Amino acid sequence: MFKDKKIVFSGVQPTGVLTLGNYLGALRNFSAFSDEYHCYYCVVDEHAITVRQDPGELRRRTYDMIALYIACGLDPERNTLFVQSHVPAHAELSWILNCFTMFGELSRMTQFKDKSKKNADNVNAGLFTYPVLMASDILLYQTDLVPVGSDQKQHLELSRVIAERFNHVFSDTFTVPEPYIPKTGAKIMSLADPTKKMSKSDENENAVVRILDPRDVIIKKFKRAVTDSGSEIKRAPGKDGVGNLMTVYSVFTGKSDREIEKEFEGKGYGDFKAAVGEVCADALAPVQAEFARLSADKKYLEEVMKKGAEEAGYNARRTLAKVRRKVGFIDLPRD
């Protein structure tokens, strides 16, 4: 186990193209973690099937997610990039931990309630128990830190509860993970409703800038972004739209609010929104080019997946062996 460094774990479902919010709030900063941490970045395809997926599309998006991780700066030589279903220990540990998770705890998960409403014709057991699979993802690697957004804090807290419960019953087995909020991360809001976080599942395409959106689409979306009454480019209470655009512009240019206000003094929202679109499109162009190059090399992506699965699997099996022994399972001798 890589306990000479602290462990970071993060997983993304291959169910939609990542957004500008994912890039600025997380991925762009993750590459710097490998200096200090050993990082596991997982494509959580088993989580994805809690709602119906087209099999071919799921496979394509899984390849895409590995390519996007690398295109965003995650070096597979310095990070463990892998696909969840390539490491069977995730599913096995999930069953064991289901038996240490209370029905009432899962019933209180707000995401289960939200997703049940959206998928009323497919409220399956996996949708109910997937927070336990998420706990297994994290606990398998003796994870110290988990980068989380506000929508996942409840699930991470459940992971902590499960770890502490198992440790109490069987003695120390799992590292109890802590939430990690990247200091340099930026919270990017919807372009259509700047009081809500930008989400890759938003049905309004004008609300979301996706990492792989073409240049003209990115600029057009920013030009359509909701702003506020008045025309002054200034961060202030009640000016959520302008404040959100200032955050995007600041992250890409390194300019402070005061510098942005001075740059656009006397100019209107139209000029400002066009400028934000331009700097965003310019910054994402190299990522898109690298993604296109990687996507054309399926053999390389499979090599990355295989290497990642071997690295992740080795450490996952060590944790799982300890768990199996403690709960009383028999491991047969190897030939």
Instruction: Determine, yes or no, domain membership for 200.
Output: no
The reported pLDDT for the residue numbered 151 is: 64
Together in a domain, 166 and 313:
yes
Number of domains in the chain: 2
Number of H helices, E strands in the chain: 14, 5
pLDDT tens column, 255-284: 999 999 999 988 888 999 999 999 999 999
Quick one: DSSP state of residue 152? G
Between residues 33 and 100, which one has the greater pLDDT?
100
Between residues 138 and 182, which one has the greater pLDDT?
138
> What proportions of the chain, in percent to the nearest 5, are helix, strand and coil?
55, 10, 35
> Looking at 46-55, 158-167, 203-212, 231-240, which range is the least confident one?
231-240
The reported pLDDT for the residue numbered 76 is: 96
Q: Residue 268 belongs to what domain range?
A: 205-292
Catalytic position from the list 5, 187, 197, 326 = 197
Together in a domain, 68 and 159:
yes
Q: Rounded to two decimals, what is the model's pTM?
A: 0.89
d(CA 252, CA 152) in angstroms, rounded, equals: 26
pLDDT at 184 over 70: no
Q: Where are the beta strands (DSSP E) in 44-92?
A: 80-83
d(CA 93, CA 241) in angstroms, rounded, equals: 44
Whether residue 322 lies in the annotated active site? no
Whether residue 153 lies in the annotated active site? no
pLDDT at 1 over 50: no
pLDDT band at residue 2 under the 50/70/90 scheme: very low
Catalytic position from the list 6, 115, 239, 273 = 115
Together in a domain, 47 and 135:
yes
Catalytic position from the list 187, 200, 255, 307 = 200
Together in a domain, 171 and 32:
yes
Whether residue 5 lies in the annotated active site? no
Together in a domain, 267 and 309:
no
pLDDT at 165 over 90: yes
pLDDT band at residue 125 under the 50/70/90 scheme: confident
Together in a domain, 234 and 101:
no
